[in-house]
Chain A
Amino acid sequence: NAGVTQTPKFQVLKTGQSMTLQCAQDMNHEYMSWYRQDPGMGLRLIHYSVGAGITDQGEVPNGYNVSRSTTEDFPLRLLSAAPSQTSVYFCASRDGQLKLFFGSGTQLSVL
Chain B
Amino acid sequence: GESVGLHLPTLSVQEGDNSIINCAYSNSASDYFIWYKQESGKGPQFIIDIRSNMDKRQGQRVTVLLNKTVKHLSLQIAATQPGDSAVYFCAENHGTASKLTFGTGTRLQVTL
Interface residues of A (CB under 8 A from B): 4, 31, 35, 39-45, 48, 58, 90, 92, 97-105
Contact = CB atoms under 8 A, between A and B. Distances in A.
Contacts of B8: 40
Contacts of A105: 41-43
The B contact surface, by secondary structure, is loop
A103 B43 contact: yes
Interface of B: 3-8, 32, 34, 36, 41-46, 49, 89, 91, 93, 98-105
Nearest to B45: A102
A87 to B, nearest CB: 14
Contact of B43 (A44, A45, A90): A90
Q: What 4 A-B pairs have minimum CB-CB distances, sorted nearest first?
A: A102-B43, A40-B6, A43-B102, A42-B102
A98 B100 contact: yes
Specify which of B4, B32, B89, B104 lies most central, judged by the most chain A CB atoms within 10 Å of its CB.
Answer: B104
A58 B54 CA distance: 28
25 contacts: A31-B98, A39-B6, A41-B104, A42-B89, A42-B102, A42-B103, A43-B89, A43-B91, A45-B99, A58-B99, A98-B34, A99-B49, A100-B34, A100-B36, A100-B46, A101-B46, A102-B43, A102-B44, A102-B45, A103-B43, A104-B42, A104-B43, A105-B41, A105-B42, A105-B43
